[in-house]
Amino acid sequence: MTPLAHLGYFYNVDKAPYDHINAAEAERQFVADLPGGEADYIKACRAYSDTLYQAMAEKLGRPIFLDKTPAYALIHDFLTTIYPDAYYLVLTRQPLAIFHSYADSFFNGDYTAALNYNNILARYVPAIAKLLKNPPKNMLHITYEDLVKAPEEALRKITAWLGINYCQEMVNYGHKGASSDLQKGYGDPNISKDSRPNTKSLSGWAKALATSETGFKLAQEVIRGLDKDDIALWGYQKDHLFDPCVAVKGVKYKPKKHLDAYRCKRRIFLKIKPFAKYKAFNNLLRHIRYYSDVLLRD
């Protein structure tokens, strides 16, 4: 029960506050002794998520619930085991655009800090390529570029695949009359900035990388480590990934000044985080956490 207790709602994980190795071994032994073995465990996992998904779908009065996050690409084997009949929509984007967007959104444009924290392309390109190589029963692959260039066409394709009716609010999600539920986002600082898909982000990343010597070199290193066949499965050619950067080489790029609350908090966090390695500041943070936990405890 310890892993379940620490999913984040009741307790948070801080370097695994339980012995995860022993817990995993105990769970495997327990599952091996169940009448149905692994099938019983899979059924239990499905019951957990079924309960939550169905409750939310009933609240919204809708037959389908969409759960989307990039991290699911890293556990697609688990997902397709739990839900073999689910519909999997795979959205890929030009890898270099992802490289820039990650650094720009979460590290204030610092490519070095972003790469040191998480080599996002090295993790996600092969993971998603593996899913595309061995697709589940119901899978549709769409590229970000096709989606923003022709959103109506892409949404009609998706709805036909799902077997549901298309409506204009799916594209014009931020316009008056559209559901407010579509404007919510968990972890995406840009969700409410636009009212419909657009092409504003198709070329900005190329200008940024082309005019950043450090960013361009780091991007080259990352791309060199990726398999060309994996990139081809994403819908792109490895030898031509840098073409947009070459096309705008010499173009003066002026980064936009982001002043929204999310980025301000992120910048403050990144400025403060290095000080956590110092004992005095680390102790102060631990004392703050302790007293916060005491004050917030029921």
pLDDT of residue 122: 96
- 172 and 267 within one domain: no
| pLDDT exceeds cutoff 70 at 259 | no
CATH number for the domain that contains residue 120: 3.40.50.300
In this prediction, residue 64 has a pLDDT band, given cuts at 50, 70 and 90, of confident
Cβ neighbours of residue 13 under 8 Å, at least 6 residues apart?
6
Q: Which residue has the tokens 């110092």?
A: 278
The answer as to whether 52 is a domain residue is no
**Which domain does 282 fall in, by range?**
259-298
pLDDT digits (tens, 9 = 90+) for 177-194: 555 555 455 556 566 677
pLDDT digits (tens, 9 = 90+) for 224-257: 999 999 999 999 999 999 999 988 866 554 445 5
- 141 and 106 within one domain: yes
The answer as to whether 25 is a domain residue is no
pLDDT of residue 262: 61
- 265 and 234 within one domain: no
- 254 and 117 within one domain: yes
- 264 and 249 within one domain: no
The answer as to whether 50 is a domain residue is no
Q: What whole-number distance in Å separates Cα of residue 179 and Cα of residue 173?
A: 7
- 208 and 278 within one domain: no
The answer as to whether 8 is a domain residue is no
Name the phi and psi angles at 142, rounded to 5: -135, 140
- 272 and 247 within one domain: no
H-run or E-run covering 161: helix 151-162
- 284 and 241 within one domain: no
Residue 269 in 3-state DSSP? helix
- 265 and 252 within one domain: no
Name the phi and psi angles at 211, rounded to 5: -105, 10
For 166-205, the three-class secondary structure string (H helix, E strand, C coil) is CCHHHCCCCCCCCCHHHHCCCCCCCCCCCCCCCCCCCCHH
H-run or E-run covering 87: strand 87-92
Give the mean pLDDT of the chain.
87
Q: What is the DSSP string of 145-158?
A: HHHHHSHHHHHHHH
| pLDDT exceeds cutoff 60 at 25 | yes
pLDDT of residue 19: 84
How many domains does the chain fold into?
2
- 248 and 123 within one domain: yes
The answer as to whether 211 is a domain residue is yes
In this prediction, residue 17 has a pLDDT band, given cuts at 50, 70 and 90, of confident
pLDDT of residue 253: 43
- 213 and 133 within one domain: yes
Amino acid letter, residue 42: I
- 71 and 192 within one domain: yes
| pLDDT exceeds cutoff 80 at 111 | yes
